[in-house]
A = this chain, B = another copy of it.
Amino acid sequence: MAVYDCMTFLTDYGLEDGFVAACHGVAARIAPTARLIDITHLVPPGDVRRGAAVLAQTVCYLPPAVHVAVVDPGVGTARRAIAVTAGDSILVGPDNGLLSWTIDALGGATSAVHLTNGEFWLQPVSATFHGRDIFVPVAAHLAAGTSLEATGDPISVADLVVLPAPTSRLHDGEAEGEVMSVDRFGNVQLSIPAADVGRLGIGIGMPLLVRCGRRQLTVPYLDTFAAGAPGEIIAFTDSAGLISLAVNAGDAAEQLGLPPGAHVRLSHAHAG
């Protein structure tokens, strides 16, 4: 019966419509004293992997909370609605993998329920807006002190849908990975942890060979993008501990033509 004074909210609803505000309103009616932090509502429509990555990389900086995430291309189909306890928080959303990387980031799920108790839903439930009608009202009730058990049927945490983790492995003197995301600055975040590059013996100040598709280029591995010369492509360890490619005062994603999901390999420059 813990009470949470914070909720967070991530969706692909966009900001042009009243969708997000309707959810804020529903939450405010049920849990009027809870603070609600918007994570983002600009996940590309239906992009579950992108939503999963943003949530997992942000959650450690948020207070203990009931986190609601809705990127739900299967809304209205048989996919389950779930609530999961992990660490000191509760996660609420569709059981399509969206929550899985965040569950890992919080140390793993300790319990889970299939949301089946309509008593905590906004009735009548629409077929297409479960954020407003199921996820947010249930989350707000949880924040206000309703027990997890009351909201549905217990399910095994081993049965939750898990999103395949981004490719990342050390292999034959190379760190292999994929483009996780491109941020507003055009910085290209790879799925390769800085620790893996370290394991290859590559340290700050050393040249790094980057291979993507048929292209290969050698870039310096620096402390920060601002340490690069203007226009120079560099690698750095980003704020999530992952290797990112950047151009000081420029757009690396555009220069490199690297979209999310693209395969990238890093190694010692002299290995090229």
Contact with B along A48-60 (1 / 0, CB 8 A): 0000001101100
Instruction: Point out the residues of chain B lying under 8 angstroms from A76, CB to CB.
Output: 223-227
Name A199-255 residues within 8 Å CB distance of B: 223-227, 236-239, 248-249
Q: Indicate if the CB atoms of A128 and B225 lie closer than 8 Å.
A: yes
Give chain A's interface residues, CB within 8 Å of chain B: 5-6, 8, 10, 12-26, 28-29, 32, 35, 37-42, 45-46, 54-55, 57-58, 61-63, 73-77, 122, 126-129, 132-133, 181, 183-185, 223-227, 236-239, 248-249
Q: Indicate if the CB atoms of B16 and A73 lie closer than 8 Å.
A: no
Q: A24: shortest Cβ distance to chain B, in Å?
A: 5
Q: Indicate if the CB atoms of A39 and B18 lie closer than 8 Å.
A: yes
| With known contacts A76-B226, A236-B128, A249-B73, A42–B21 Cβ distance under 8 A | no
Q: A120: shortest Cβ distance to chain B, in Å?
A: 16
Q: Indicate if the CB atoms of A16 and B183 lie closer than 8 Å.
A: yes
Q: Indicate if the CB atoms of B249 and A127 lie closer than 8 Å.
A: no
6 examples of A-B residue contacts, CB within 8 angstroms: A10-B18, A21-B58, A23-B61, A25-B37, A127-B237, A128-B224
